[in-house]
């Protein structure tokens, strides 16, 4: 496989994803770990880890750095990027992050928990019809046009500046305004409504720090806001596995690490069956 193709692509570089990567690698699988800045994991906020054996009160940042070091020592490829698209394609998956596309035979979703986040009104029906989740990927389509940036994460201002640099007229909405916004349009985006005012635009960039797995794979069966899995971490989509906080509570490191390990073993078994 070339540098952008692998047996197992792991979405998320938190404890579940790192554990899955180490096990998949130990099984001789080619692996890419693709995720936003790992220090954005909730674990980085933990002052002290008291319930994971053998750590003697390490901080969350220390534990994450140590886990990331394991990936590096094993020579496992890790790419920092926001995954904005997943497409099933002839028995494999095409995964886009920033401006790159990766091909994988299986996916392990280790994307962490998302609490209380719903798409904005109009966002899902108009996705790909003027709504984009990625300024770098789609910005050039709107050169010379008026667009809205709905910033729901920390990178919105940077992306708005990028869109201005390439020649878009940008209306910027900060997180407080953006979370109350509504996107209007029938076949394509026509306007954004925010604070009682309607702003005509041709494109809308809805920018979160990460895109939810359920939005990346709309066919993914969910249960109580989490990805539904069986005991071996299979999701309802063949070739897609999931582990960690994204599959449910309790949100704990030990559980995430164990499930990452199981997901990798199940993905390896799935590939063996396919290759018979
Ligand atoms: C303050 C705090 C203290 C905690 N203390 C403890 C403790 O003491 N003990 C304990 O067991 N647990 C603790 N936890 C819980 C623990 O941090 C989580 O259970 C654990 O991090 C879950 O690991 P995970 O790999 O499933 O998900 P995460 O650690 O959330 O990792 C998922 C990663 O995927 C990335 N991602 C998601 N979607 C995308 C996308 N579309 N594109 C790119 N990247 C994406 C995220 O940015 C994130 O980096 C604590 C949590 C918090 C917030």
Any domain includes 81: yes
Range of the domain at 12: 5-116+211-275
The pLDDT tens digits for 200-210 are: 999 999 998 88
Q: Are residues 108 and 227 in the same domain?
A: yes
- CA–CA dist 79, 12 (Å, integer): 10
Question: What is the residue with the minimal CA distance to atom 7 of ligand 1?
Answer: 49
Look at residue 122 and tell me if it is in a domain.
Answer: no
Same domain, residue pair 48 and 156: no
Please tell me whether residues 233 and 183 are part of one structural domain. Answer: no
Compute the distance from residue 242 Cα to the ligand 1 centre, in Å.
14
Name the percent of the chain lying above pLDDT 90.
76
Lining residues, ligand 1, CB within 6 Å: 11-17, 35-36, 38, 40-43, 45-46, 49-52, 82-83, 110-112, 210-211, 244-245, 251-254, 256
Task: Say if residue 94 is in the same domain as residue 224.
Answer: yes
pLDDT at 133: 87
Question: Which residue has its alpha carbon closest to ligand 1 atom 37?
Answer: 111
Q: Is this model's pTM higher than 0.75 or not?
A: yes
Nearest CA to ligand 1 atom 29: 14
Which tokens belong to 40? 């954005």
Residue closest by Cα to atom 10 of ligand 1: 252
pLDDT, average across residues 144-156: 91
Same structural domain, 202 and 233: no
Residues 9, 111, single domain; the answer is yes
Q: Rounded mean pLDDT of 178-193?
A: 96
Q: Domain holding 188: CATH number?
A: 3.50.50.60
Q: Are residues 194 and 218 in the same domain?
A: no
123 part of a folded domain:
no
Q: How far is CA 141 from the centre of its chain?
A: 23
- Boundary residue ending a domain (175, 207, 239): 207
State whether 17 and 152 are in the same domain. Answer: no
What's the pLDDT tens digit per position in 5-47?
999 999 999 999 999 999 999 999 999 999 999 988 888 888 8
Asked whether residue 121 is assigned to any structural domain, the reply reads: no
- How many domains is the chain partitioned into structurally? 2
- What confidence category does residue 116 fall into, taking pLDDT thresholds of 50, 70 and 90? low
**In a domain? residue 124:** no
Per residue in 74-111, pLDDT tens? 999 999 999 999 999 888 999 999 889 999 999 999 99
Is residue 240 situated within a structural domain? Answer: yes
Which ligand 1 atom sits nearest the alpha carbon of residue 259? 26
Does 59 share its domain with 96?
yes
Tell whether 85 and 16 lie within a shared domain: yes
Residues comprising the chain, all counted: 276
Nearest-angstrom CA–CA distance, 266 and 225: 23
The verdict on 103 and 135 lying in the same domain is no
Residue 231 lies in a domain: yes
Nearest C-alpha neighbor of 237 from the set 255, 214, 256, 269? 214
Residue 10 lies in a domain: yes
Distance CA 240, CA 202 (A): 35
- Mutate which of 111, 134, 241 for ligand 1 pocket (most atoms within 8 A of beta carbon): 111
For ligand 1, the distance from its centroid to the CA atom of residue 159, given in whole angstroms, is 25
């Amino acid at each position: 496989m070339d540098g952008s193709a692998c047996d197992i692509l792991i979405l998320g570089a938190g404890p579940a994803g790192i554990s899955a990567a180490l096990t998949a690698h130990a099984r001789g699988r080619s692996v890419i770990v693709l995720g936003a800045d790992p220090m954005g994991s909730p674990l980085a906020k933990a002052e002290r880890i008291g319930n994971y054996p053998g750590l003697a009160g390490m901080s969350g940042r220390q534990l994450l750095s140590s886990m990331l070091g394991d990936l590096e020592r094993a020579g496992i490829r890790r790419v920092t990027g926001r995954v904005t698209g997943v497409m099933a394609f002839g028995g494999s998956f095409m995964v886009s992050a920033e401006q790159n596309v990766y091909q994988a035979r299986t996916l392990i979703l280790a994307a962490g928990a998302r609490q209380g986040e719903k798409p904005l009104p109009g966002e899902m029906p108009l996705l790909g019809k003027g709504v984009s989740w990625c300024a770098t990927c789609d910005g050039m389509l709107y050169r010379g046009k008026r667009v809205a940036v709905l910033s729901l994460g920390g990178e919105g201002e940077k992306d708005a500046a990028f869109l201005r640099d390439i020649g878009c007229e940008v209306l910027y909405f900060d997180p407080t305004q953006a979370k109350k916004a509504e996107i209007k349009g029938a076949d394509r985006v026509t306007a954004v409504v925010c604070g009682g005012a309607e702003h005509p635009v041709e494109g809308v960039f809805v920018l979160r720090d990460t895109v939810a797995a359920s939005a990346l794979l709309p066919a993914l069966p969910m249960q109580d806001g989490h990805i539904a899995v069986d005991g071996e971490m299979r999701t309802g989509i063949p070739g897609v596995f999931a582990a960690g906080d994204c599959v449910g509570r309790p949100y704990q490191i030990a559980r995430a690490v164990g499930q990452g390990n199981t997901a990798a073993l199940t993905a390896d078994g799935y590939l063996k069956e396919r290759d018979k």
